[in-house]
Structure 1
């Protein structure tokens, strides 16, 4: 008896995580983990961690991976990287205005220095994932839908 294994590359419905999506498109493009890793400047183990959803994909790496795979970068974004891509400086400004807070008050709500928050709104810096977790409830409170 001969069995033929077939991967359905016409349908990505089973890609319910960022890691599964990455793996799907890597296999579809017939790249090994090593080949894809070399294209984006990471080690193959990093690609494996991403594909197994053991490590979140950094924003810049997600953009490079999407370019290498020829796909929409948003397919490789989680909640945080979607926030960064929005762009987050505009979202933060909108959120602060809806909550009727100044930058100092907003920084206090998040638990960061006012200078850090100001840099976020100027797009000079980007909030880290830990800071983003403190921002999420405020986005909901401001009733902002992305």
Structure 2
């Protein structure tokens, strides 16, 4: 068995989700196969995550964080952080602040009203491509999403 070692004693130098994941997996003495089996993914997928070659799916990030006992937020990219955040509240708050109907907001994003309504009702989760459309629409409207994210206590 090969043992990987890191030249630092804490995870403070981990700047990407993959580095953070790999650090904690190796720190806990787990092989890629062992950790992958515990969260229900194939080892090759875990390697892709650890090498930052593929973003970690939200549900997988939650499972990995639970198994390793680590901060799941450090495993999330911008999209999965958006999904983790109460995105439905954020979308509704932005829409209401702009005095738009769900139909108008859906048109601005470039999706159907049924899809948008499903997001606000938390029946559907925006996919990655839809998230990109949301960001583009909000940018066009000159809405700074970070402003809303900082208000998390009030949303």
**Fold conserved (TM > 0.5)?**
yes
Q: Which residue number in structure 2 is paired with residue 16 of structure 1?
A: 15
- Provide the alpha-carbon RMSD of the alignment: 1.6
Whether the aligned pair in 1 keeps the contact of 2:102 and 2:117 (CA below 8 Å) is: yes
Once the two structures are TM-superposed, the CA of residue 13 in structure 1 deviates from its matched residue by 2.7
Whether the aligned pair in 1 keeps the contact of 2:6 and 2:23 (CA below 8 Å) is: no
TM-score by length of 1: 0.90
Distance 1:122 1:128, change over 3 A: same
Once the two structures are TM-superposed, the CA of residue 8 in structure 1 deviates from its matched residue by 4.2
Q: Which residue number in structure 1 is paired with residue 49 of structure 2?
A: 50
Q: Which residue number in structure 2 is paired with residue 78 of structure 1?
A: 77
Whether the aligned pair in 2 keeps the contact of 1:33 and 1:44 (CA below 8 Å) is: yes
Once the two structures are TM-superposed, the CA of residue 76 in structure 1 deviates from its matched residue by 0.7
Once the two structures are TM-superposed, the CA of residue 142 in structure 1 deviates from its matched residue by 2.6
Distance 1:55 1:6, change over 3 A: closer
How many residues in Structure 1 have an aligned counterpart in Structure 2? Answer: 142
Within 5 Å, which residues of 2 pair with 1:1-146? Answer: 7-8=6-7, 10-139=9-138, 141-145=142-146, 146=149
Once the two structures are overlaid, the 10-residue window that deviates more, 90-99 or 136-145, is 136-145
Once the two structures are TM-superposed, the CA of residue 139 in structure 1 deviates from its matched residue by 4.3
Question: Helix, strand or coil for the counterpart of 2:145?
Answer: coil
Once the two structures are TM-superposed, the CA of residue 143 in structure 1 deviates from its matched residue by 3.0
Whether the aligned pair in 2 keeps the contact of 1:80 and 1:129 (CA below 8 Å) is: yes
User: Which runs of 5 or more structure 1 residues have no equivalent in the other structure?
Assistant: none
Per-residue CA distance 1:7-50 (angstroms, 9 max, x = gap): 24532232111111111111111110000000000000000010
Once the two structures are TM-superposed, the CA of residue 94 in structure 1 deviates from its matched residue by 1.0
Structure 1 stretches of 4+ moved >3 Å: 137-140
